Amino acid sequence: MDVLNLIEEAYEAKKMSYAPYSDFHVGAALLTQSGKIYRGCNIENAAYSPTNCAERTAIFKAVSEGEKEFKAIAVVGDKEEYLTPCGVCRQVMMEFCDEKAFQIVLAKNKTDYRICTLQELFPGAFSAKNL
Ligand code: THU
């Protein structure tokens, strides 16, 4: 996997962020097992709760195009800090991604990043296995 390229794709995605309420701009780039990259940005709403995070935008775009097998996602924000996915996005990742194999790339900038698994970020999560 070309991590630096995935991070750059996430920064490209952030350019499309629609965040007039929080002014907190987020970009994500999702790598599929087939090698495609889907970009996502956060999309806010005046009613607040319909807001969609960058990660979910990328995942929903991919699933709506017939892709359901994912290798990794890179997430970037405006601040030089690691931006970790919210609980709702972690739950959506649980639906489609392997807890141990899926790589979540949290990037502070284009070269400083940390990779974690879903198992690390979301231990004890509820999933289809529990049904
Ligand atoms: N946000 C994301 O897009 N991804 C995250 O991982 C955390 C939060 C968005 C949602 C909202 O538009 C803004 O950031 C502030 O919470």
Out of 9, 12, 44, 55, the active site residue is: 55
* Predicted TM-score (pTM) of this structure: 0.96
Residue 111's nearest CA partner among 7, 1, 2 is 7
For the chain, give every domain's residue range.
3-130
**Ligand 1 pocket test, candidate residues 24, 49, 92, most atoms within 8 A of CB:** 24
State yes or no: pLDDT of 98 exceeds 90: yes
- Residues 114-124 pLDDT 10s: 999 999 999 99
CA distance 131 to 90: 18
pLDDT in tens, 7-20: 999 999 999 999 99
CA distance readout (Å), 36 to 30, 65, 70, 71: 8, 11, 9, 10
Mean residue pLDDT of the chain comes to 97
Task: Give the per-residue pLDDT at 41.
Answer: 98
Check if 55 is active-site. yes
Instruction: Mention the CATH class of domain 3-130.
Output: alpha beta
What's the half-sphere exposure (Cβ side, CA atoms, 13 Å) at 4? 3
Position 80 confidence tier, pLDDT thresholds 50, 70, 90 = confident
Assign 76 a pLDDT band (cuts: 50, 70, 90): very high
